Amino acid sequence: MSKPGSAAEDAAEAFLQRQGYRILRRNYRCPAGEIDIVAREKKVFCFVEVKSRNSDACGSPAEAVTPEKRRRLCRAAAWYLSESGNEDAISRFDVVAVLYEGAGPEIELYKDAFECEER
């Protein structure tokens, strides 16, 4: 059982801001799916999936980003870029893993965690 998604997303957002990301949207929803965090790092649009767990006994939180989830994120990202008039922008997919073991959350960032097959 993991912490509520919003708590993990709050922790991830604060972490990303400390890393120099500018947060554009949280919980972006469209007909193609949902993106936890849309951000910019310099000129790159970053579509961030946040995963959390209370233990890594069943694997790291990042391992929970399944191929189907990746496909949905890719479709949602394309929708976002089109909707915002940024179809030709440079973009990537990051995963933030939040592990709640011990005193506070351990946060790990996986930059450019995966690529879309159909781009």
- Residue 109 inside a domain? The answer is yes
Q: Comparing 56 with 37, which gets the higher pLDDT?
A: 37
pLDDT tens digits for range 67-114: 999 999 999 999 999 999 999 999 999 999 998 877 778 999 999 999
> Which residue in this structure is represented by tokens 């500018």?
22
Confidence band, pLDDT 50/70/90 cuts, at residue 4: low
Q: Given this model, what pLDDT does residue 102 score?
A: 77
- Residue 27 inside a domain? The answer is yes
Domain count within the chain = 1
Highest mean pLDDT among 23-37, 62-76, 103-117: 23-37
- Residue 92 inside a domain? The answer is yes
**Domain containing 85 — which CATH number?**
3.40.1350.10
- Residue 119 inside a domain? The answer is no
- The per-residue DSSP string of 38-62 comes to EEEETTEEEEEEEEEES-STT--GG
In terms of residue numbers, what domain contains 45? 5-114
Confidence band, pLDDT 50/70/90 cuts, at residue 2: very low
- Residue 91 inside a domain? The answer is yes
